[in-house]
Amino acid sequence: MLTLGATLLTLALTACSEKPSTPAATAAPAAASNEPVRGGQLVVAIRAEPAQLNPLVDQGSGAHSVRPALDSLVWDNGDGTYEPWLAARWEISDDASSYVFHLRKDVKFHDGTPLNAAAVKANFDYVLDPANKSTGSTAKLKPVATVVDEYTLSVKLGTPESSFLTLIAAPYFGILSKDQLEKDPKSLATKLIGTGPFKFDNWVKGQSLTYVRNDDYHWAPAKFHQGTAYLDSVKYVFLAEDQTRYNALATKEAHVVDYIPPEYAKQTKANADYQTQEFLLPGVGYSLHLNTRKAPFDQLEVRQALLHGLNRAEIVASATFGAYPVQEYLASTTPDFAKDLKNKIAYEPERAAGLLDKAGWTERDAEGFRVKGGQRLSSFIPYADNDQLAQRTLEQVQIDARKLGFEIKLQPVTDLAERLYNGNYGLLGSFQSEATGMQLWRLYGSDNISDGGTVGSNASYLRIPELDAVLAKARASGQAADRAKFYAEAQEILPNYAPSVPLYSRARLVAIQKNVHGVAWDNAWPQPYLFDTWIGK
């Protein structure tokens, strides 16, 4: 085990001065004769209002609307390379368990307090404290931060993680003010004090979230312009209904519309009145997680029957109007996706029927559903009552499952987020978008199973020892090639146990009015990044 003094000498220096790679979705270019115009308010229509703003508690809640106010330690290029941001440079141990960050010395929070090692330590301490109930990826790693000097911080992880830089590059680990964290933690739910190019201004519940320009800002990643943001302000408006959100684009009530509904994707991309950017979200796409603590999914044959008996291609094509691709256990845009995967999920209805027969579900009732011992082969799946895409998808799943003799009941609910933690489901649909194979550990690793004392994200509750062993090797691999090799092994293992049924990767389509320029992508948690954005005539 390295001592702190030895760490600085023996950690391998990470290459953090590489030139930026081409982003997966490029920014809309301005005309060559146009210079960026300062001023104006950019209106962005998004699907969901956050339940609260504190990203250190809930990485999903506000991740798509807090980035203007929050910078991260590093910028993720989306291709396995990183650039300095709040950290000027860093070192990583060979086993990916120790990280040292050397911070910029010229950064201030919106409250005027300085960014230093103590401030960043306060953020790590916050997610480490179980009383704060952080569900984020960083908290899962149990990071212990130590101040080396005023602008140097050492972080020791409870378990090695080769994707750690990607995790802390995401907005849900944007760095918050030490004073706010320690002196006014209750305010984190309703306002944010960060170092970002915009400052929190106003949150009108049920309507909008507004940020105004930070006129002291001058520490953007090198790939962006230097100085302050061009825009005066950014206003997010919450439009959960797909038709309403699309109408905001057509009526020009919004400059940017995030998550164009799949039924409007083709016509939006073909319309010369708009610019479009599309990003196939990496990580684990929308999947049906099978609760192995409840019958019938405690039987392997039943899980495998559903995996191979659903016509995933037809379900996805119908539910998404052909806009989203079918996926395996990782999305194809994930850096650790196995391109030569051999154990792919095949549609084999005859095999599925045989598996159900083997499991003892051989009889049929009057409605054609399989029964065993007088019990119908049945389960239920809750979904958010305002999620039209989920409803369409699950209706198609229900139809396909019936062909197998499997009854799946749909339950529109308002407490979907809580279901993961209380286990009140038979199947649970969810997706997890991060640009790393580490998501396989988050969703399928044994140490992410809720045990009553800790909240886990393994929604199947299935323990797979051989998978755990491979995931541990991947997470401790300092070299990208080694990590990819082990994650490829994990992808070969998963179909054998069928903890879930992967369906589709979300093609995140963003439509932009023609007079808006400079919309880029934040790759760590894929979403539009608005620092370079400006509004032309």
The string of DSSP letters for 370-392 reads EEETTEE-EEEEEEETT-HHHHH
Residue 386 has pLDDT above 90, yes or no: no
Q: How would DSSP label each residue in 464-504?
A: -HHHHHHHHHHHT-SSHHHHHHHHHHHHHHHHHH-SEEEEE
Average pLDDT over residues 454-483: 91
Rounded CA separation 534/518 (Å): 6
- Structure confidence by residue, pLDDT tens digits, 135-180: 777 888 899 999 999 999 999 999 899 999 999 999 989 999 999 9
Q: Does one domain contain both 228 and 349?
A: no
Two tokens, residue 489: 């092994």
Q: Is the pLDDT reported for residue 222 higher than 70? A: yes
435 pLDDT higher than 90: no
Which is more confident, 447 or 462? Answer: 462
Distance between alpha carbon 228 and the CA centroid of its chain, in Å? 28
- In what side-by-side order are the strands of the sheet with 375-376? 363-364, 370-372, 375-376
Are residues 80 and 195 located together in one domain of the fold? yes
Burial tier of 101 (Cβ tally within 10 Å: 0-12, 13-18, 19+) = buried
Do 115 and 263 have their domain in common? yes
Helix axes 480-497, 300-309, angle to 10 degrees: 100
Torsion (CA) 295, 298, 302, 307 in degrees, nearest 10: 110
Nearest to 196, CA basis, from 108, 114, 121, 136? 108
- In terms of phi and psi (left: phi > 0; alpha: psi -120 to 50; beta: otherwise), the region of 170 is beta
Angle at the Cα of 310 from the Cα atoms of 308 and 315, rounded to 5 degrees: 140
pLDDT at 526 over 70: yes
Closest CA to 339 of 348, 347, 328: 328
Question: Is residue 92 over pLDDT 80?
Answer: yes
Q: Are residues 238 and 372 in the same domain?
A: no
Q: How many other C-beta atoms lie within 10 A of the C-beta of residue 130?
A: 12
Q: What is the pLDDT of residues 297-344, one digit of tens each?
A: 999 999 999 999 999 999 999 999 999 999 999 999 998 999 999 999
Extract the tokens encoding 30. 């301005």
Kindly state whether residues 497 and 512 are assigned to the same domain.
no
Looking at residues 456-466, what average pLDDT do you find? 94
Looking at the structure, do residues 118 and 226 belong to the same domain, yes or no? yes
Give 110-177 as a DSSP string: TTSPBP-HHHHHHHHHHHH-GGG---SHHHHT--EEEEEETTEEEEE-SS--TTHHHHHHSGGGPPPP
Q: Which residue has the higher pLDDT, 19 or 130?
A: 130
CATH number of the domain encompassing residue 182: 3.40.190.10
- Residue 142, Ramachandran bin (φ over 0: left; ψ between -120 and 50: alpha; else beta): left
Which pLDDT belongs to residue 59?
64
Tokens representing 442 are 């988050």
Burial of 152 (0-12, 13-18, 19+ CB in 10 A): middle
Q: What is the pLDDT of residues 46-69, one digit of tens each?
A: 988 998 999 998 766 567 799 999
**Which tokens in the block code for residue 291?**
């609760």
Both 522 and 497 in a single domain? no
Q: Is the pLDDT of residue 11 over 50?
A: no
Say whether both 265 and 386 belong to one domain: no
Among residues 486, 443, 482, 481, the alpha carbon closest in space to that of 462 is found at 443
Q: Which two tokens stand for residue 177?
A: 């003010």
* Gap between the Cα atoms of 358 and 372, Å rounded: 12
Q: What is the biggest distance separating any 2 CA atoms in the chain, rounded to whole angstroms?
A: 76
Total domains in the fold of the chain: 2
Q: What is the structure's pLDDT at 28?
A: 41
Range of the domain at 515: 4-277+508-535
In terms of domains, do 255 and 289 share one?
no
* Residue 405 shares a structural domain with residue 373: yes
Q: 524 with 431, same domain?
A: no
pLDDT of 452 higher than 90: no
Q: CATH no. for residue 477?
A: 3.10.105.10
Mean pLDDT of all residues in 247-265: 95
Pairing of strands 363-364, 507-513: unpaired
pLDDT at 8 over 50: no
CA 280 to chain centre: 12
pLDDT mean across residues, the chain: 90
- Enumerate the β-bridge partners of residue 146: 154
**SS3 labels along 256-274:** EECCCCHHHHHHHHHCCCE
C-alpha atoms less than 13 angstroms from C-alpha of 69 in its C-beta half-sphere: 30
pLDDT of the residue at 422: 86
The rounded distance, in Å, linking the Cα atoms of 1 and 93 is: 11
Q: Give strand pairing partners of 284.
A: 432
- Whether 75 and 209 map to the same domain: the answer is yes
